Amino acid sequence: MLVDEACGQSPCFFLSLFYHILTHYLRQSVLGHAVGATVYGTSRTPNKLERAKVLGLEVGLSDKNFAAEIQQLTAGAGVNIILDFVGAPYMEQNMQVLAPWGRIVFLATLGGKDAQVDLSAVMSKRIQIRGCTLRTRTLEEKLAVTRRFATQVVPLLANATVMPIVEEVFSWHDIAQAHTAMAANRNFGKLILRID
């Protein structure tokens, strides 16, 4: 991987994740392996689950019926925090597996944005539903997050403690190929467009 491409994609992904996870949950111990949490993940593609296990995923599940599997694996206790990039298609199963006082954090809605929610389950389980995007933040908020990112995450990138995953780099002139690759859902990491 070329350093320029890795650096070019880092802010796109890491700033959003950094803003929500580290800003809101660092003190609440959401650092997965660092606090002994079991990290579950879902995918439609077994190959992606295997690749994620190399990065620390402990339990990889099919997205078709992950709720039943998680309930079985946790003896009905469920999970405390869900970081969701899919959105609407996962909402019903997310609600089933979320433990009392649990939180769902939406970082994207790649599968759709319109979902039905059983509000009585939200109330009875005392669930928190949060969303995160930097697009709607004020300039001052974006600057503050960027400064914290520069002091807390850039050193981790510089010494390779944290590495972005770049799947493929396309020339700007090959943007149609990049879209085809993304539409085929064949990428595990980021697809990068290089302006040349």
pLDDT for 7 equals: 56
Q: pLDDT for 12-65, tens place per residue?
A: 556 655 555 544 444 333 334 445 678 888 888 888 888 888 877 888 888 888
Is the pTM higher than 0.85?
A: no
Within the chain, which residue ranges are assigned CATH 3.40.50.720? 38-132
Q: pLDDT for 117-161, tens place per residue?
A: 999 999 999 999 988 777 888 999 888 888 888 887 778 778 877
- For residues 87-106, give the mean pLDDT: 92
Handedness of CA 19, 23, 24, 26 (dihedral sign): positive
pLDDT for 12 equals: 56
Task: Name beta bridge partners: 62.
Answer: 43
What homologous superfamily does CATH list for 38-132? NAD(P)-binding Rossmann-like Domain (3.40.50.720)
